[in-house]
Amino acid sequence: MESMDGGPEMLHIGAVAERTGMSLRTLRHYDDVGLVSPSARSEGGFRLYTEPDVQRILLIRRMKPLGYSLQQMRELLEVTGAMAIPGASETARDRLAEISREAALRREQLGRQVAMADEFLARLEQLAAPAEGPRPGA
């Protein structure tokens, strides 16, 4: 997407928050720690994000449920950045494959946790169901 002046479209932090489902506070924190910084600032100092910035934020959002640390997120962004360069190094390819395998393992673990939560909810429903049989005094 391009702006009216022919440059890349720049989104204010509020629009990025709405589009990504992340809070303003989280986006500011990511900027403060250098994880995903906006590509520019307005004359008034407001953060301005490009489409590639938004895509990095969405990638991070997908990592959060899998329990990745900020450092691990930073590493993945570095690897994906290296992969975007034609003729990416074998090291970057190997590291991306490792990250992919680790993500699959984390996904399996999360699936097991969801299954346990489902069992727990089913048990609660059983406990809350009225006992079968005649009621006293009926």
Taking residue 86's Cβ as centre, other Cβ atoms within 10 Å add up to 4
Average pLDDT, integer, range 1-18 = 78
pTM of the complete model: 0.77
Task: Kindly tell me if the per-residue pLDDT of 26 is higher than 70.
Answer: yes
Higher pLDDT, 16 or 2: 16
Sorted by sequence, the CB contacts under 8 Å of residue 36 that are 6+ apart come out as 27, 30, 53, 56, 57, 60, 77
Report the top-level CATH class of 1-66: mainly alpha
pLDDT of residue 2: 47
On the CB side of 72, how many CA atoms lie within 13 Å of its CA? 13
pLDDT of residue 129: 87
- All CATH 1.10.1660.10 domain ranges in the chain, comma separated: 1-66
Taking residue 132's Cβ as centre, other Cβ atoms within 10 Å add up to 5
